[in-house]
Structure 1
Amino acid sequence: MRRICRAPGRGTFRRWSRFFHCRFEGESICMYHRLQSPSQFHHLWIVLAIISAILLASCSTTPTTGAPTPVGTHMSPPTPPPHPAATSAPLPTPTSPSIARTIFLILMENHNWSDIKNSPSAPYINNTLLPMASYAEQYYNPPGIHPSEPNYLWLEAGTNFGIFNDAPPSANHQKTTHHLTTLLDRAHISWKSYQEGISGAVCPLTNNGLYAPKHNPMVFFDDVTSTNVPNSAYCIAHVRPFPELATDLQKHTVARYNFITPNVCDDMHDTCAPLNDSVKQGDTWLAQHLPPILNSQAYKDGGIVFITWDEGEGGDGPIGMIVLSPDAKGAGYSNTIHYTHSSTLRTLQEIFGVTPLLGGATTAIDLRDLFKTFP
């Protein structure tokens, strides 16, 4: 064993160092030879106290955040926060859409759901659409909102602006930009209103044949019509004759949001020859014009068709809501959740990810229960 201790007579520091060398080298006998007086023991205890303090400080130092984990050390991942409990309260405000969907909203007129479901006048709806669709048994127009026009405005803005009549845009136009299609425009999401019975040469602000502007909510907003200007380029570009939809579907140029209104015979509003049955007129129109939408690539790629009625007859409904989509629950699924037009508006905003939520959409429950994948 190597000998480190030297003869007495050296300085105290040297004796201490030799003592520790001896301890580390295994020669504990050196302690006996070098520490033979009380003063030497006193010095030793001072040194031991200092060294102990240094060692304790170094051992208790907390590593700084971001220091590398020693090899072989396993760190448990942080415990994730618990999921919030399920609730029927409105969901958080959307910030972005999950996927790029194409939406078709078709508005029919003035019938309660009891007039439609199981009606012999609606064989296409009952025998073809409902077995493949999801639908709501308790869908209503907003409470006390009549006649037609304020309900159309509600679907666009979440409010009727205090309007309870069917006056033209010249009387009921709105300066606000707080409505759905302007939110879509700002988000660079394309939209069109397809109206049966218009020429497409002008902004359709007045009644013309079987076309009624009260069924076309976009033309009541000044930022769409340049404040009731018939030759508004923006309006003409976005409010188009319904037959153009078929061409847009074929050319894959259809907009992301498509608001569709048949004329007043085909939307079940009036009783017209030759059928003289308003429900059958609308059912026949759907049987003719819905298949091109359902067979389109836009629909197959996660598109959604919503079919509803503007208002109930003799009350607020229920008026029914039919949802067709590859991502709907379908197969005739139905529910009895209480919905209104605010639910549809909220659903549209959530699908497109546009905010703020408008009017009644703020507190409405959306239509997600009718879907297997939403939005």
Structure 2
Amino acid sequence: MRHVTLAFAFLVLGFGAQSNAQSKHNIQTVFIILMENHNWTGTHNATSIEGSRYAPYINSVLLPMASHTEEYFNPPAIHPSLPNYLWLEAGTNFGILNDDPPSVNSQTTTEHLVTLLNNAKVSWKAYEEDISGTVCPLTDTGEYAVKHDPFVYFDDVTNNQDPNSTYCIAHVRPFTELASDLQNGTVAQYNFITPNLCDDMHDKCKPIGNAIKQGDTWLSQNVPTILNSAAYTNGGALFITWDEAASGDGPIGMIVLSRFAKGNGYENFIYYTHGSTLRTFEEIFAVSPLLNDAASETDLSDLFTAFP
């Protein structure tokens, strides 16, 4: 009986240590914003972000106070959009090289980030622009593109592609709810933010008619809400990146803002991919195993003074 009691106590202590591991970390809340289809630097002047006159907020406001890297790439030869979103969630594209919907590309595996988080009792939400919030958004609607919403490609999130899945509906929410969640202190610990096709630099839309300027304007209108929130100031980190390059594999942008980031315009030239970002998030939230490519990539810790 004594052995059973000791074994039970060990299990309780073990689970407690695992569930409390992230509480010892500096970074408590993560926000990631996904932009679209632009190189960070290079000869592609019309589609490059760094130094672009169409991106004054990124270049003149964010970069001087952020850390960023000059050598962040989408995984080699991984195109178009969907495979890169899946890579950020699972460290692999599952062999997918198209943008087909979940009805074609759904995955049965539970080995992906938000399920690891959920199992570790780490809260998560995806904020998707242009969804209703009344159904699990398994198809395109308005300027919402399902290919930019990786979570609905996993059957354990959607209850096998059920548009009425309560778990999916509770976690994949309209972007319009982010501001009130921040104000009310109900934001999740991991927050994946997807602007719509006009606001993420994917399409040219009226009245601006310039994809880079549209995205830069959207960031200027929405990033301050995050930066001024208690969730950000009390241990938050905001990552802004792009899904893939417009030409080749990059480099693409990765901008990090946090009180724990080196900031002040710090830049490095370390090679990173989306596997690096996934590894970084797993380390921040103390979940394992490192998923697929995340196990072999360098994390983003060099962009921080204190990590995780």
TM-score scaled to structure 2, two decimals? 0.90
C-alpha deviation, 1:355, in angstroms: 0.2
In structure 1, C-alpha distance between the alignment counterparts of 2:180 and 2:103, rounded to whole Å: 32
C-alpha deviation, 1:223, in angstroms: 0.2
In structure 2, C-alpha distance between the alignment counterparts of 1:297 and 1:320, rounded to whole Å: 26
Q: Secondary structure at the match of 1:269?
A: coil
Q: Secondary structure at the match of 2:21?
A: coil
In structure 2, C-alpha distance between the alignment counterparts of 1:153 and 1:227, rounded to whole Å: 17
Q: Percent identity?
A: 66
Letter in 1 for 2:78: I
Q: Secondary structure at the match of 2:256?
A: strand
Letter in 1 for 2:80: P
Q: Does 1:96 align with 2:21?
A: yes
1:105 alignment counterpart: 32
Q: Does 1:207 align with 2:140?
A: yes
1:137 alignment counterpart: 70
C-alpha deviation, 1:96, in angstroms: 3.2
In structure 2, C-alpha distance between the alignment counterparts of 1:195 and 1:166, rounded to whole Å: 17
1:359 alignment counterpart: 292
Q: Does 1:171 align with 2:104?
A: yes
1:171-211, Cα deviation, whole Å (9 max, x unpaired): 00000000000000000000000000000000000000100
Q: Secondary structure at the match of 2:173?
A: strand
Letter in 2 for 1:284: T
In structure 2, C-alpha distance between the alignment counterparts of 1:313 and 1:360, rounded to whole Å: 22
Matches within 5 A, 1:1-375: 96-97=21-22, 98-99=24-25, 101-114=28-41, 115-375=48-308
Q: Secondary structure at the match of 1:293?
A: helix
1:336-369, Cα deviation, whole Å (9 max, x unpaired): 0000000000000000000000010001100000
Letter in 2 for 1:363: S
In structure 1, C-alpha distance between the alignment counterparts of 2:122 and 2:249, rounded to whole Å: 32
Q: Secondary structure at the match of 1:140?
A: coil
TM-score scaled to structure 1, two decimals? 0.74
Letter in 2 for 1:136: T
1:23 alignment counterpart: none
1:17 alignment counterpart: none
In structure 2, C-alpha distance between the alignment counterparts of 1:280 and 1:135, rounded to whole Å: 20
Kindly tell me the number of residue pairs found equivalent between the two proteins. 281
For the 8 Å contact 1:194–1:259, the answer to whether it is kept is yes
In structure 2, C-alpha distance between the alignment counterparts of 1:206 and 1:313, rounded to whole Å: 24
Q: Secondary structure at the match of 1:139?
A: coil
Letter in 1 for 2:173: R
In structure 2, C-alpha distance between the alignment counterparts of 1:314 and 1:212, rounded to whole Å: 21
| Unaligned stretches of 5+ residues in structure 2 | 1-19, 42-47
1:89 alignment counterpart: none
For the 8 Å contact 1:300–1:326, the answer to whether it is kept is yes
The structure showing larger relative contact order (alpha-carbon pairs under 8 Å, at least 6 residues apart) is 2
1:25 alignment counterpart: none
For the 8 Å contact 1:192–1:239, the answer to whether it is kept is yes
Instruction: Answer with 1 or 2: which has the greater Rg.
Output: 1
In structure 2, C-alpha distance between the alignment counterparts of 1:207 and 1:106, rounded to whole Å: 19
Q: Secondary structure at the match of 1:315?
A: coil
C-alpha deviation, 1:313, in angstroms: 1.3
